Amino acid sequence: MTDPRSGALAASLVKSPISILLAVLLGGAAALINAWPLPLFASAQLMLGAALVMLAVSRLGLVEALLSAAVAGSVIAWQWQHPLPLLLLMLEAAVVWGLCHRGVLLLYADAAFWLLLGMPLLYVAVMVIAPDDPSLTFVVLKQGFNGLINAAIASLLLLMLPSRWWRRVCTQPLFKRGFREKISYVTVLLLMLISMSTMLIYSSYLINSQQQLLLTQLQQDGNRIADNAHRFLGRYLSLTRSAGQWLPNDLAAQQQQLQQLHQQLPQWLTMLVADRTGNVIATSPLRPELLGVSVAQRDYFIEVLAGADQYVSGAFQGQGFGDEIIVAISAPWFDEFGQVAGIIEGSVDLQGMVEVLDPAPDQFYLITDGQQRVVVASEQLGLKPLTPISAGQGQLLHPDSLVQRRQLTAPFALAEEVYQIDYPLGHGWTLQLMQPLQPIMAQAQQQFIIGLGILALGLLVAVAVTRRLCGLLTSPLEQLARQMALPYHPEQSQRPLNSYAAKELQLLQSELTSQRRNLYAYQQQLEQQVAARTKELSEANAQLKKLAMRDGLTEAFNRRYFDISFESYRQHSMRSGQPLLLAMVDIDHFKSVNDCFGHLVGDDCLRTLVQRMNQLFSRENDLVARYGGEEFVLLVPYVGFEAAQQMLERLRLLVAEKPIAVSEQGQPISITISIGAVYADARFSKRQARWLQRADKALYEAKQAGRNRVRLYNLANHDNDVGSHMDSQAQLHSS
């Protein structure tokens, strides 16, 4: 015998063009939804497209479910450059489909997958791919949360969408579920959706608030650090500008004043004075070999002689006084006539700038010059001075265009996301202050995990309470259904529902009990009426049967009854071994009676004849039947030949000797009868017509012989139908 479950499984694997197309459409729509994920916080996102894949899993066949998962997962795998999302989604589709095919509800099936299989496998896979990932637990829990919310959305869509939409493509078997199970499932589903949505909204609000606080603090720190950088450079710019205004024209005095100026600020590495032609005329510290050297090709000379009030160079590595990263600051100096006589230039050691910036311990800073090269940077960034930095890294995250989030990559040493805020420092210099996202992400992940724990605990309590509540609500219904299923007894009192039953159920019980009582009374009345009608019908049927087997005029059996009974008489005669007498009785000249006295008198003659025949043949097994018109038949078992002869003769005499009717004028009417009979055992013939034919022949002979006669053939114990016969005749008496 074929297992019906295997047949159902084979039917669920059947593929049709419509279901294949629907699976592809659902998978494609899921891929499009996943292309715009729902931001959770930082780089954490929720992808809700898998809800459409769960629709295919819950309604289509296994092949279609895997196809839909493959279409949706391939896009994610392409985006992530890893096949893990595709494999995990296809495994989820296969396992959940199998559980749903065995009657497990979609939400419960998906929860079982993630708890027992999905999250453990994902944990192992991430451990292999990224063993040092600090957010491993968060990634696994977030993915399980993502899967559950997708299953919850799909379950809600199944409740909301009309079932006729799936009628042509649905291959999952439909299971009959109890009222308690349905209420419990819908309540758990709604509670899960509400709880998850509330958790997401609250987490998003909390994380956004923390991000706003972080960005506000980052902006305040950026302003402070930029002010520090401004003050650091401003001191040297101001001193250089002032020195150009009061520098004396005497060379010896210039050398002395330059050395005094060099000693005023600690970050001056070197200083020099050049005349209008670009030749160095004073240095500090004094370097005689540099005197007379031309700096006419240097930017700090060209820009100032071209009319610049002051010039700040880009960062560069010093020569001759060490390999420090320095910056050149120049300004014009004037003669006694107020004309530009040359320039005064100083090289500033930028290491001093690092000492005055004072960033927060968890912040990174980066200052670039006008050529987008590193001037100074935090040690954590691992950037060497003069390293070129490409502009425009990162993507806009905050409404303030100065606040960005970017992934630090080469040449940066950090591989993490940061918030960044840029401040222009003048002269093409820019301060970039960065705040790593890892602390806030770690805090957000911790909050998310705690929220998941609270959510899971709340859902477990909610499920337990919901099932208990559903039991309290449905148990009165079950009790009422059991009561209504029992037979009704008027003397048996109705048990009340339990104390948790609602007023409506108690009212329903009262109404149903009253209706059952009325129905029982009506049923009893109906049964009595049916019994009376049945009795009347039985009597009517008996009367009809009697009418069907009796002649309506004479009340003798009719020809149909004779035809039906003959074979049973013959069979009985065969079993008993006793011969059977069949006689045909015909009234002589009956037509003249009807013509002379009327048909009513003729009917009286027929009735009286039957009465006299029943008088003589009154045994239970004797059969008197009207064969047709004025012709009758006698079927008599258990009689000897001589007794049969005597009985037929007595009948002839009883009819002939007594008037049989009275005319309208009171005149007695007498008739005679002719009888043709055959006396034979059952072996004479199996055919009724043969018996009637022989009796009719005897009747014909009796009439031919002058009527009012009995002609009886004795065929008993003879092998043929010749036999002997008896002929009796009596003189007619006049009326």
Q: Which residues participate in catalysis according to the annotation?
A: 630
Tokens of 461: 């309590």
Q: Please, are residues 310 and 303 in contact by the beta-carbon 8 Å criterion?
A: no
Pairing of strands 623-628, 325-334: unpaired
Q: How many CB atoms lie within 10 A of CB 79?
A: 13
Gap between the Cα atoms of 309 and 465, Å rounded? 81
Q: How many CB atoms lie within 10 A of CB 642?
A: 10
713 forms beta bridges with 678, 725
CA–CA–CA angle 687, 689, 691 (5° rounding): 80
332 forms beta bridges with 343
Q: Is 381 exposed, middle or buried (0-12, 13-18, 19+ CB in 10 A)?
A: buried
Q: How many CB atoms lie within 10 A of CB 281?
A: 17
Single-letter code of the amino acid located at 10: A
Report the helix count and the strand count for the chain, using DSSP H and E.
Answer: 19, 21
Say which DSSP state 28 is in: H
Gap between the Cα atoms of 191 and 107, Å rounded? 12
Of 674, 682, 676, 678, the closest CA to residue 722 belongs to 678
Single-letter code of the amino acid located at 289: E
Q: Please, are residues 280 and 272 in contact by the beta-carbon 8 Å criterion?
A: yes
What is the secondary structure of 40-93 as a DSSP string?
EETTEEE--THHHHHHHHHHS-HHHHHHHHHHHHHHHHHHHTSSHHHHHHHHHH
Pairing of strands 325-334, 364-368: unpaired
Single-letter code of the amino acid located at 139: V
Overall size of the chain counted in residues: 735
What is the secondary structure of 312-324 as a DSSP string?
EEEEEE-SSS-S-
Element (H, E) at 265: none
Q: How many CB atoms lie within 10 A of CB 543?
A: 11
348 forms beta bridges with 268, 327
Phi, psi angles (nearest 5°) of residue 38 = -85, 115
Q: Please, are residues 599 and 534 in contact by the beta-carbon 8 Å criterion?
A: no
Gap between the Cα atoms of 124 and 130, Å rounded? 10
SS3 assignment, position 527: helix
Q: How many CB atoms lie within 10 A of CB 64?
A: 29
- Gyration radius of the chain over CA positions: 62
Beta-carbon contacts of 440 under 8 Å, excluding residues fewer than 6 positions away, are 42, 207, 210, 211, 214
Gap between the Cα atoms of 126 and 118, Å rounded? 12
Gap between the Cα atoms of 48 and 34, Å rounded? 6
Element (H, E) at 438: helix 438-485
Tokens of 460: 């477990």
395 forms beta bridges with 405
Single-letter code of the amino acid located at 568: S
